Amino acid sequence: MINSKKKISLHVTAIICVVLATTFFNSCNSNDYNDEQMYDTKLLIDTIATSDEFGEFERNSELLSDKFQAYTSTLSAEEYNKLMENLNDDDYMEEKELQQMNEAKENLLLHTGFSRLSEDERMLLFMQYAESREFTGKTLIKTRTEGNANSCETNKQIAYAQAKADYDNAIIKCRQESSTNYCYTQALAKYERSKRTSDRVYEECIKK
């Protein structure tokens, strides 16, 4: 006959086994769920990236940035600094272009799964596009210090891609209200400053 101590010991052992088995089962289920969730998120990002709405959003955001860069390239250093200090002047942006940007942004939010993405997932989407745009078809500068120049160019492209992703994320956050134009201007100015900073870093890099 099993004494009471052995009974208690067997009972405790059985409980421990059940707990370990349950924990292992839950852990496996949790891992499977996380893997499935990661796959679903990647699939969603890829689907959005190839959608017409995302393409139209990117086309309009680049149209605004190209227009802003064309405008700032005509300014002297003093005029440029003055503009950066007072961004209320939006004469360089036409109402039609702003309206197209608004419509493209709303279509992206309403007709794709974009609104289901978290902040980090949105940045991943924008960064993937920016990197693809920045690194596709680019020819690295060849100099007598070719290795260093290639490294400098790569770092510049990475910085440009990050600036583009940050710019797109800022644009998508702008709301359709009285301050939307100013919000766009802020995003454009930050994008322009980031690219100019990258250009200066690149010039210093290739001199080394």
How far is the CA of 152 from the CAs of 137, 165, 206, in angstroms? 17, 20, 6
pLDDT digits (tens, 9 = 90+) for 145-163: 455 668 899 999 999 999 9
pLDDT at 208: 77
Percentage of the chain surpassing pLDDT 70?
71
Mean pLDDT of the chain: 80
The residue behind tokens 């990236």 is 49
User: Do 198 and 153 contact (CB within 8 A), yes or no?
Assistant: no
One-letter amino acid at 180 equals T
pLDDT digits (tens, 9 = 90+) for 58-112: 999 999 999 999 999 998 989 888 888 887 655 667 788 888 999 999 999 999 9
Residue 205: alpha-carbon gap to chain centroid? 26
pTM summary value: 0.76
Nearest Cα residue to 194 out of 145, 141, 130: 130
